[in-house]
Amino acid sequence: MWNYSEKVQEHFFNPRNSGVLDDANGVGEVGSISCGDALKLFLKIDPANDTITEARFQTFGCGSAIASSSALTEIIIGKTIDQALSVTNQDIADYLDGLPPEKMHCSVMGAEALRAAIANYRGEVWTDDDHEEGALICKCFGVDAGMIERAVRVNKLNSIEQITNYTKAGGACKTCHEKIEEVLGQVLTAMAAEGAIDTIPAPSCPVAPSAPVHKPMTNLQKIQLITTAIEELRPTLQRDGGDIELVDIDGDTVMVNLRGSCVGCQMSSITLSGVQERLMMVLGKPVRVIPAQAA
Amino acid sequence: MMTVSASPRTVYLDNNATTACAPDVVAEMLPFFTEQFGNPSSIHAIGASVAPAIRTARERLQNLLGVAHESEIVYTSGGTESDTTAIISALRAYPERREIITSAVEHHAVLTVCEHLARHEGYKLHVIPVDGQGRLDLKAYENALSENVAVVSIMWANNETGTIFPIEHLAQMAKPYGILFHTDAVQAVGKVPFRLSNSAIDMLSLSAHKIHGPKGVGALYLKRGVKFRPLFRGGHQERGRRAGTENTAGIVGLGKAAELAQAGFRDENIRVRSLRDRLERELMALIPNTIVTGDVEQRLPNTTTIAFEFVEGEAILLMLSRAGIAASSGSACTSGSLEPSHVMRAMNIPFTAAHGATRFSLSRDNTEEDVDRVIAVLPGIIERLRAMSPYWSSSARAPAEFQPAYS
């Protein structure tokens, strides 16, 4: 079963504003029964100030579709239509304390129904921008087969690594790499058949990740981090009449000057070890902090 | 001391997904986690004392399936491993035969393997369609048979609808072509009678956890003389046909579950069947725009899948779950895909109904009260969800006009 948040469950079991709004002046319908989701959103908008005074919905769909619809109505009531148009599907998901990746399309449906209903109020025609395309491939980043296909076609990609760089798909847990390879194979075969590429490139095997996954910090980044950390420590020392100054950095050794009441303080070694601990936390690696005079 | 009235027990009607492990099964398994921890391959007494328990389990399974020789049973990790082993073995044993036959409504454990072999290893795959009631197209099956086919893999009974295929007949039809015949019988075991000693079936898969046994153990029936190529090599276990130290506790549990299934066969086919029939009958009478899917004449005694028009299955399941009832759905949303189950699509169940298909699968643990509970709450749930559905309000004002496409 899905790992639905308390909020999703609450909005599913006790949906707000469900039903038909007879005097609605903006109605949006999205989805279809063939894909298992459909949402009809009714808005009552005050023409005097373009404010949404009432919103209701009818939804055919799963728990998260109903919860998303309910959340949507709660979010937009009282907003002007311009404010409402800035509501994204992520806002709906956030309102519900998140949705499982496979269920994000439910929030997309909500955002689209909203745009459709406002277009209807304005007398415009709203067209679906084709959000949902094929099976979800990468659960970590919510990338579906359609998005991968577009990236491959437009950018003529031919490796998993490139697909990850363009779409993020497969960049986290890497368990979807077989599926990505399969989509890649299909798209390249199709492109070759269409004449979009000359030959199908040999499937490039994903190379084992070369040693450090995170690029090593540059010296500049290191210096900036240390400077910021020491600046943050200064007010604490100043409160006791002391101060600290960064003198130099040599590899993993950080040289500082203690000033004011810190000078000659019997606790200065403890102060230094506190600074050292803080720097190690910031840098994520061991460093040594020593008084500059000693260097 | 004050007694607190316990909340009513969960009504578990999802036995085709898995069953509760029977207490007698657990009791027989427990010693094999503790004092009986030996490796049955060892010479010393601690290991050797485990071997008889594994033999007893094999005998019990033999009795349940009507198997002639104890060596015809190979323990595996469950239905999926048995299915994969059977199909891959047949292809390796007959490398010159490059075709596979299966059905459109197979479990993914078979269908995905076959599709993968077709896509990546160049096998020709015949997927035999079914009609609106889930019955196999025998003409298409007959036409697909040839000496190019290495293996037929068709399920004994469908997990979603309970529809039973004429497996013995299908196996007989394949014989003249020298095709190996495999059947995934995980849903059928304990519910239909077996006599494999007198059958044309070459290989059969079963799983312990569908018959009140533990998860992670199953068996492959392998008719004596059938050419076999192991999936796992590297040990003499199971006479070299499935390497790997035996899952002794699991195997003992499977054996006990098989014995209980045999003892419970009549109960399953008389009492459980009548519970299922009453549940189905009363729900159909109380809830308009409802279709029972599958072949109601040839069906497992414990299964009914009812499609409720204009509502979505996951929403039904969540509401049922809150009422303490566990069921299952062929709906798209429960699987994370956008389309309803391949079984519903293969039967051409209209989209309006397929999304609302809800499966109730009973077991010998269920009672009349369980059925009463569902009948008491489900009509209200469907009504509530339909009131929320844009399709219902626009169409169902004339429910009498509803015509299921296949009736």
Cβ distance A136 to B336 less than 8 Å, yes or no, reads: yes
Q: What is the mean pLDDT of residues A166-195?
A: 90
Sequence-ordered list of residues with C-beta below 8 angstroms from that of A4, at least 6 positions apart, any chain? A12, A63, A64, A67, A100
Closest chain B residue to the Cα of A15, Cα to Cα: B388
A265 against B181, higher pLDDT: B181
| Partners of residue A1 in chain B, C-beta under 8 Å | 321
The pLDDT assigned to B63 comes to 97
- Output phi, psi for A11, to 5 deg: -70, -25
Q: What CA–CA distance (Å, rounded) separates B97 from A90?
A: 53
Instruction: Specify the residue for token string 């298409």.
Output: B140
* B155 SS3 class: coil
Closest CA to B221 of B249, B265, B258: B258
Mutate to test the interface with B, among A62, A64, A133 (most CBs of B within 10 A): A62
Specify the fold of B265-394.
Aspartate Aminotransferase, domain 1 (3.90.1150)
Closest chain B residue to the Cα of A34, Cα to Cα: B351
pLDDT by residue (tens digit) across B105-162? Answer: 999 999 999 999 999 999 999 999 999 999 999 999 999 999 999 999 999 999 999 9
The pLDDT assigned to B391 comes to 85
Among partner residues A13, A35, A58, which is closest to B389 by beta-carbon distance?
Answer: A58
**CA distances to A64, A282, B209, B366, B376 from B10, in Å:** 24, 51, 19, 11, 14
- B308 contacts chain A (CB < 8 A): no
In this prediction, residue B373 has a pLDDT band, given cuts at 50, 70 and 90, of: very high
Sequence-ordered list of residues with C-beta below 8 angstroms from that of B60, at least 6 positions apart, any chain? B255, B256, B258, B259, B262
Q: Which of B48, B326, B333, B396 is catalytic?
A: B333
A184 against A242, higher pLDDT: A184
In this prediction, residue B404 has a pLDDT band, given cuts at 50, 70 and 90, of: very low
Sequence-ordered list of residues with C-beta below 8 angstroms from that of B19, at least 6 positions apart, any chain? B209, B210, B211, B212, B213, B363, B365
Residue A52 has pLDDT above 80, yes or no: yes
| Partners of residue B17 in chain A, C-beta under 8 Å | none
Among partner residues A36, A39, A66, which is closest to B338 by beta-carbon distance?
Answer: A36
Residue B282 has pLDDT above 50, yes or no: yes
Residue A288 has pLDDT above 90, yes or no: no
Q: Hey, what domains does chain A have and what are their CATH numbers?
A: 6-121 (3.90.1010.10), 136-194 (1.10.10.1100), 219-294 (3.30.300.130)
- A62 contacts chain B (CB < 8 A): yes
> To the nearest whole angstrom, how far is the Cα of A13 from the nearest Cα of chain B?
8
In this prediction, residue B337 has a pLDDT band, given cuts at 50, 70 and 90, of: low
Average pLDDT of chain A to the nearest whole number: 85
Q: Is A138 annotated as a binding residue?
A: yes
Q: What are the DSSP E strand ranges found in B175-311?
A: 180-184, 203-207, 218-222, 290-292, 303-308
Reported as type and span, the H/E element at residue B112 is: helix B108-121
pLDDT by residue (tens digit) across A81-117? Answer: 999 999 988 899 999 999 887 788 888 889 989 999 9
Token pair of A129 as six digits? 């921008």
Q: What CA–CA distance (Å, rounded) separates B281 from B105?
A: 25
- A3 contacts chain B (CB < 8 A): no
Note whether B142 and B166 are within 8 A (CB): no
- A132 contacts chain B (CB < 8 A): yes
Residue B398 has pLDDT above 60, yes or no: no
A279 against B262, higher pLDDT: B262
Q: What CA–CA distance (Å, rounded) separates B256 from B249?
A: 11
Residue B36 has pLDDT above 80, yes or no: yes
Cβ distance B336 to A33 less than 8 Å, yes or no, reads: no
The pLDDT assigned to B121 comes to 95
A228 against B404, higher pLDDT: A228
> Vertex B85, ends B101 and B67: CA angle to 5°?
90
- Chain A residues 81-100 with a CB less than 8 Å from chain B: none
In this prediction, residue B336 has a pLDDT band, given cuts at 50, 70 and 90, of: low
**Window from A188-192, A283-287, B193-197, B230-234 with minimum mean pLDDT:** A283-287
The pLDDT assigned to A274 comes to 82
pTM to 2 decimals?
0.80
Q: Is A262 annotated as a binding residue?
A: no
> How does DSSP classify residue B185?
-
- B381 contacts chain A (CB < 8 A): no
Q: What is the mean pLDDT of residues A256-280?
A: 80
Q: What is the mean pLDDT of residues A267-295?
A: 79
Q: What is the mean pLDDT of residues B36-59?
A: 91
Q: What is the mean pLDDT of residues A255-279?
A: 81
Among partner residues A1, A15, A36, which is closest to B332 by beta-carbon distance?
Answer: A36
* A228 SS3 class: helix
Among partner residues A33, A63, A132, which is closest to B314 by beta-carbon distance?
Answer: A63
Q: What CA–CA distance (Å, rounded) separates A109 from A124?
A: 19
Burial class (CB in 10 A: 0-12, 13-18, 19+), A80: middle
Note whether B34 and B229 are within 8 A (CB): no
- A33 contacts chain B (CB < 8 A): yes
Cβ distance B337 to A19 less than 8 Å, yes or no, reads: no
Tell me what percent of the residues of chain B surpass a pLDDT of 70: 92
Note whether A59 and B362 are within 8 A (CB): no
The pLDDT assigned to A203 comes to 53
Q: What CA–CA distance (Å, rounded) separates B159 from B157?
A: 6
pLDDT by residue (tens digit) across A223-248? Answer: 888 888 888 888 888 888 888 888 99
Q: What CA–CA distance (Å, rounded) separates A228 from B233?
A: 60
Topology agreement, domain B23-263 and domain B265-394: no
Instruction: Specify the residue for token string 């007494």.
Output: B45
Q: Is A140 annotated as a binding residue?
A: yes
Burial class (CB in 10 A: 0-12, 13-18, 19+), B192: middle
Closest CA to A151 of A140, A139, A137: A137
Q: What CA–CA distance (Å, rounded) separates B100 from B115?
A: 10
The pLDDT assigned to B2 comes to 42
The pLDDT assigned to B239 comes to 93
Sequence-ordered list of residues with C-beta below 8 angstroms from that of B292, at least 6 positions apart, any chain? B280, B284, B304, B305, B306, B307
**Window from B5-14, B62-71, B219-228, B290-299 with minimum mean pLDDT:** B5-14
Cβ distance B390 to A39 less than 8 Å, yes or no, reads: yes
Residue B3 has pLDDT above 70, yes or no: no
- Architecture category of domain B23-263 in CATH: 3-Layer(aba) Sandwich (3.40)
The pLDDT assigned to A294 comes to 57
A55 against A38, higher pLDDT: A55
Known catalytic residues of A are 35, 106
Contacts A–B by Cβ distance under 8 A:
78
The pLDDT assigned to B407 comes to 32
The pLDDT assigned to B168 comes to 97
Domain boundaries, chain B: 23-263, 265-394
Cβ distance A20 to B333 less than 8 Å, yes or no, reads: no
The pLDDT assigned to B1 comes to 42
- Torsion sign (Cα): A105, A107, A109, A112: negative
The pLDDT assigned to B107 comes to 95
Token pair of B133 as six digits? 């009631």
Q: What CA–CA distance (Å, rounded) separates B65 from B195?
A: 6
Among partner residues A58, A61, A102, which is closest to B312 by beta-carbon distance?
Answer: A61
To the nearest 10 degrees (0 to 180), the angle between helices A160-167 and A145-155 is 110
Cβ distance A60 to B336 less than 8 Å, yes or no, reads: no
| Partners of residue A35 in chain B, C-beta under 8 Å | 332, 338-339
To the query of whether residue B21 is one of the catalytic residues in this protein, the response is no
B348 against A212, higher pLDDT: B348
Q: Is A205 annotated as a binding residue?
A: no
- A38 contacts chain B (CB < 8 A): yes
Mutate to test the interface with B, among A8, A21, A33 (most CBs of B within 10 A): A33
In this prediction, residue A131 has a pLDDT band, given cuts at 50, 70 and 90, of: low
Cβ distance B390 to A60 less than 8 Å, yes or no, reads: yes
Token pair of A279 as six digits? 């720097």
Among partner residues B310, B338, B388, which is closest to A35 by beta-carbon distance?
Answer: B338
- Output phi, psi for B254, to 5 deg: -60, -45
In this prediction, residue B47 has a pLDDT band, given cuts at 50, 70 and 90, of: confident
pLDDT by residue (tens digit) across A3-36? Answer: 899 999 999 999 999 999 999 999 999 887 766 7
Q: What CA–CA distance (Å, rounded) separates A275 from A281?
A: 10
Residue B386 has pLDDT above 80, yes or no: yes
**Window from A98-107, A130-139, B241-250, B264-273 with minimum mean pLDDT:** A130-139
**Window from A26-40, B7-21, B176-190, B377-391 with minimum mean pLDDT:** A26-40
Closest CA to A80 of A48, A103, A105, A125: A48
Reported as type and span, the H/E element at residue A138 is: strand A136-138
> To the nearest whole angstrom, how far is the Cα of A132 from the nearest Cα of chain B?
9
Q: What CA–CA distance (Å, rounded) separates B202 from B247?
A: 24
